[in-house]
């Protein structure tokens, strides 16, 4: 094979690859995988940061961590072998629609809006970003017990996870790359509510 032919073939292959990549690029969202809601993982608080904020179990009870992922941590509150409740903290950066239900909230714990979901679940939105949830299991818990559990979380510590993180995000991402709904912080609502 002559030298020119080899170069020609090589450049042909290179051009074909380039064109192929450009054609496939718009379809990348069809490919399986990626994080939930396609949020870059760096923008989501890791679940390990939530673990120490869970309430300490009372005497006779046991707190068993069951799942820890990026933006999520869940534990099961047990008494003996029976599960009493699921306790979870999640970062709503991957599920912005979860925040909308708090708009109609009538009550609050430590100033953060509180919402009931069905007969066994109570949810709290901290710093307009982190959702804390208690779901009664087995025989169930009454609302007061669930609210007491929500209060026992380190809510101040959870709210404090926010500012350092967003400062870093703002630096790291140029304005053009940010999606409009991803960063809920700094809205007027957030700033007013803790004070109320």
Partner 1 sequence: MSRTVLERLERLPKRDLTVLALKGIGTLVPGGWHNITSADALIADVMGSSDPELIRQVRARADLLSGARHEGYGRALSLYDAVNRSQHATGGLRILSNVGAGIPLLKRMAKLTPASETLQAVDLSLKVGAELLAFTQVNGLPGDSFGDFSASLADYAGEARVRMAALICFDALLPLGDQALQKLDGLLGKASAGDLRRLPSYGQMAGMIPGRGDGAHLSFLRRGVESWAGWAGGFISSLGLTGQKAVRALEGTLGPWAGGMQGLGTFLDAFTDTYSHTGVQAVARRLVERAAAEI
Which residues would be at the binding site for partner 1 (CB under 8 A)? 32-37, 41, 47-48, 51-52, 62, 64-70, 72-76, 78, 81, 86, 88, 90, 92, 94-95, 98, 117-121, 131, 133, 135-137, 140
Cα–Cα distance for residue pair 171/175, rounded to 1 Å: 9
| Nearer to partner 1 (CB atom), residue 65 or residue 191 | 65
State in angstroms the smallest separation of the CB of 49 from partner 1: 10
Residue 73 β-bridge partners:
68, 89
Q: What token pair was written down for 38? A: 């396609």
127 SS3 class = coil
Cα–Cα distance for residue pair 106/143, rounded to 1 Å: 15
State in angstroms the smallest separation of the CB of 68 from partner 1: 4
| Nearer to partner 1 (CB atom), residue 37 or residue 109 | 37
State in angstroms the smallest separation of the CB of 141 from partner 1: 9
State in angstroms the smallest separation of the CB of 57 from partner 1: 12
* 2-6 contacts, C-beta under 8 A, 24 or more apart: none
| Nearer to partner 1 (CB atom), residue 51 or residue 187 | 51
What's the sign of the alpha-carbon dihedral 29, 30, 34, 38? positive
| Nearer to partner 1 (CB atom), residue 81 or residue 177 | 81
Cα–Cα distance for residue pair 105/68, rounded to 1 Å: 28
| Nearer to partner 1 (CB atom), residue 49 or residue 173 | 49
| Nearer to partner 1 (CB atom), residue 86 or residue 158 | 86
State in angstroms the smallest separation of the CB of 172 from partner 1: 19
Closest CA to 93 of 26, 154, 165, 30: 165
155 SS3 class = helix
State in angstroms the smallest separation of the CB of 131 from partner 1: 7
């Amino acid at each position: 094979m002559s030298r020119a032919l080899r170069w020609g073939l090589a450049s042909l292959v290179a051009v074909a690859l380039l064109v192929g990549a450009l054609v496939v690029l718009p379809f990348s969202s069809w490919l399986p995988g990626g994080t939930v809601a396609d949020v870059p993982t760096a923008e989501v608080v890791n679940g390990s940061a939530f673990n120490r904020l869970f309430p300490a179990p009372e005497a006779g009870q046991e707190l068993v961590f069951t799942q820890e992922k990026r933006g999520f941590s869940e534990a099961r509150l047990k008494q003996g072998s029976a599960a009493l409740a699921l306790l979870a903290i999640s970062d709503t950066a991957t599920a912005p629609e979860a925040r909308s239900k708090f708009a109609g909230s009538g009550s609050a714990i430590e100033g953060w809006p509180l919402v009931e979901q069905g007969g066994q679940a109570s949810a709290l939105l901290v710093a307009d970003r982190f959702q804390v949830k208690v779901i009664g299991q087995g025989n169930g818990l009454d609302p007061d017990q669930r609210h007491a559990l929500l209060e026992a979380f380190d809510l101040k510590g959870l709210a404090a996870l926010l500012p350092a993180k967003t400062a870093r995000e703002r630096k790291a991402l140029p304005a053009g790359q940010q999606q409009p709904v991803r960063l809920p912080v700094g809205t007027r609502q957030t700033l007013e509510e803790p004070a109320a």
